[in-house]
């Protein structure tokens, strides 16, 4: 009996200590006189329901609205038990992402290239390693490089068109477009990143699609591991904590090694991303980059096989998922707005006819209305719903005496900014004319952030936009899309998906023109 009483007392003591510790964590901002969101949950803070009930875009939008209603340009909140800052004002977004980039150059997302090789990519790296890698990779994404890959993407798009025609001719009039589009972009990225024919359109069980999709799956265990690694970065690195799935790492490291060995042994040259990375690996820069005047050709530090694999990995997973997601949401909106669909189709046909029936890189990237439609899709459905930055040192919010400790997560709620009715009136309405040049000029430039902004803007945005536009042109020239009884209305985002993804997919009727 005495032992039971002692155990009960110990339990109450430990529970009380945990309770008061968590309450103190949630008072972090209010104790410093910094405005913050109200009523945090003891364990979940201000993100209760994440993964299990609501997508992060909805949770962050609710937080954004609560802070904006109080006329705040920023506010504190609890990401579970981690004190964080949400940026509300587009002008402050600009300050964080550009003006004070020297302080905010890191995302603050846990990575450890030593123990977790595939985390050593451009999106996650910090400080000097990020700067050095960005400088090496920037020349690989120029418009000239994209133009050289254009023909390769057109070939995959033609296979996609044939696949859609065959499905239609077999009597398939309704398709779940999210899956089909992911297979198309997997084939495109597999070809452009690895020079491999994935044949995912014919083989939906492709390992590329399987492991690429796995990256964006979230489970409570993965989230807990991510939070702990984020809170205790140094300890996590000492323990060799890996956030990349073991199967994902094994597949991408293996396919990279095989491709590199084959190309170097057989001197294979292709117009793709892998070819450019191999040049950087072996020489430290692209072979057609001019040497500095007055100096002899020099060999600069290149890439290790692990670093090369990490870049291929992020290019693949980011390129296939974000582009397929954008095309998926775009087709959904075009099906729900047939007048916009017809206007876009006519615009595409006129532009191609004016170029003697030829589809070229310049025509694809120069179609103004197509550009408006894609931009409006990215406005309403930004693939990455929020962006992170952390200050390198203690940071005083401009115009205030509020000091934010170094390494605090600053969250920029992209989805919420894109759905702010004061910035975009009637934000749930799909209206490509929001992106007419004269309308864009009336908005703050940092209220539209589908690719981020500043020195860490998405390096692959040109490729992503080109791939998306080629896919849409291919489909709209041959097919008309309509909603069915199974088409979700309204769309609800899957809380288990890192990117925006509709629950139940996107079922559309497909009629051949």
Single out the residue of 273, 272, 274, 254 nearest to residue 264, CA to CA: 274
What stretch of H or E contains 509? strand 507-512
Provide the pLDDT confidence category of residue 295 given band limits of 50, 70 and 90: very low
Mean pLDDT of 281-296: 66
What would the pLDDT profile of 40-49 be if each residue is shown by its tens digit? Answer: 888 888 888 7
How far apart (Å, rounded) are the C-alpha atoms in residues 150 and 348?
Answer: 17
**What is the per-residue pLDDT for 1?**
64
Residue 306 is predicted with a pLDDT of 94
The pLDDT of residue 300: 61
Kindly report the average pLDDT of the chain as a whole number.
90
Neighbours of 15 (CB within 10 A): 10
Residues facing residue 277 across a β-bridge:
none
Q: Is the pLDDT of residue 378 over 90?
A: yes
More confident residue, 356 or 300: 356
SS3 string, 426-459, reads: CCCCCCHHHHCHHHHCCCCHHHCCECECHHHCCC
Q: Which two tokens stand for residue 83?
A: 């004190």
Distance set, CA 132 to CA 106, 108, 135, 284, 503 (Å): 14, 18, 5, 10, 40
458 marked as part of a ligand binding site: yes
pLDDT of 16 above 80: no
Burial label, 5 (beta-carbon count in 10 A; 0-12, 13-18, 19+): exposed
Q: Whole-angstrom Cα distance, residue 99 to residue 347?
A: 39
Taking only the tens place, the pLDDT of each residue in 500-513 is: 888 888 999 999 99
pLDDT tier at 289 (50, 70, 90 boundaries)?
low
Query: In the prediction, which pLDDT does 199 show?
Result: 84
Q: How confident is the model at residue 290 (pLDDT cuts 50, 70, 90)?
A: low
Where is pLDDT greater, at 336 or 496?
336
| Res. 18 pLDDT band, cuts 50 70 90 | confident
Residues 51-69 pLDDT 10s: 778 899 999 999 999 999 9
Average pLDDT, stretch 118-141? 92
- Tokens 């297979």, located at residue: 183
In the chain, where the domains are located: 1-11+30-512
Task: Decide if pLDDT at 156 tops 80.
Answer: yes
Strand partners, 77: 84
Name the fold adopted by 1-11+30-512: Cytochrome p450 (1.10.630)
pLDDT (tens digit per residue) in 344-373 = 999 999 999 999 999 999 999 999 999 999
Lowest-confidence segment of 181-195, 201-215, 360-374 by average pLDDT = 201-215
Mean pLDDT of 23-37: 90
pLDDT in tens, 407-466: 999 999 999 999 999 999 999 999 999 999 999 999 999 999 999 999 999 999 999 999
């Amino acid at each position: 009996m005495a032992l039971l009483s002692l155990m009960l007392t110990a339990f109450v003591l430990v529970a009380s200590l945990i309770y008061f510790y968590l309450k103190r964590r949630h008072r972090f901002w209010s104790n410093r006189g910094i405005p913050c969101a109200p009523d945090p949950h003891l364990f979940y803070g201000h993100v209760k329901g994440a993964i299990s009930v609501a997508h992060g875009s909805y949770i962050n939008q609710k937080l954004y609205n609560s802070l904006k209603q109080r006329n705040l340009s920023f506010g504190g909140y609890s990401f579970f038990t981690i004190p964080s800052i949400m940026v509300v004002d587009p002008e402050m977004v600009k300050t964080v992402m550009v003006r004070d980039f020297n302080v905010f150059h890191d995302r603050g997302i846990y990575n450890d290239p030593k123990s977790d090789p595939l985390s050593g990519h451009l999106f996650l790296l910090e400080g000097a390693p990020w700067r050095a890698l960005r400088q090496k990779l920037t020349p690989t994404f120029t418009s000239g490089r994209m133009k050289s890959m254009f023909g390769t993407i057109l070939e995959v798009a033609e296979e996609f068109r044939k696949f859609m025609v065959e499905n239609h001719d077999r009597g398939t009039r309704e398709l779940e477009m999210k899956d089909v589009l992911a297979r198309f972009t997997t084939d495109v990225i597999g070809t452009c990143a690895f020079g491999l024919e994935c044949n995912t359109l014919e083989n939906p069980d492709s390992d590329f699609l399987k492991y690429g999709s796995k990256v964006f799956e979230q489970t409570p265990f993965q989230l807990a591991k991510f939070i702990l690694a984020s809170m205790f970065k140094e300890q996590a690195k000492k323990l060799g904590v890996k956030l990349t799935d073991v199967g994902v790492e094994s597949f991408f490291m293996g396919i990279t090694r095989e491709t590199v060995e084959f190309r170097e042994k057989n001197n294979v040259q292709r117009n793709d991303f892998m070819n450019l990375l191999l040049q950087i690996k072996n020489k430290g820069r692209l072979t057609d980059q001019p040497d500095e005047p007055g100096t002899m050709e020099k060999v600069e530090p290149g890439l290790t096989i692990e670093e090369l694999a990490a870049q291929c990995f992020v290019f693949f997973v980011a390129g296939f998922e974000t582009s397929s997601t954008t095309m998926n949401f775009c087709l959904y909106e075009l099906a729900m707005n047939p007048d916009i669909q017809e206007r876009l189709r006519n615009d595409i046909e006129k532009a191609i006819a004016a170029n003697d029936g030829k589809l070229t890189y310049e025509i694809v990237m120069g179609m103004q209305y197509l550009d408006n439609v894609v931009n409006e899709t990215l406005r309403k459905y930004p693939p990455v719903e929020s962006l992170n930055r952390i200050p390198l040192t203690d940071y005083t919010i401009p115009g205030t005496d509020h000091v934010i400790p170094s390494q605090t997560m600053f969250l920029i709620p992209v989805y919420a900014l894109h759905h702010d009715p004061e910035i975009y009136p009637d934000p749930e309405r799909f209206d490509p004319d929001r992106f007419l040049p004269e309308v864009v000029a009336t908005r703050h430039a940092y209220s539209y952030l589908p690719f981020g902004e500043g020195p860490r803007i998405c390096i692959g945005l040109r490729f992503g936009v080109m791939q998306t536009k080629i896919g849409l042109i291919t489909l709209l020239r041959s097919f008309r899309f309509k909603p069915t009884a199974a088409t979700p209305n309204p769309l609800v985002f899957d809380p288990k998906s890192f990117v925006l993804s509709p629950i139940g997919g996107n079922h559309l009727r497909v009629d051949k023109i």
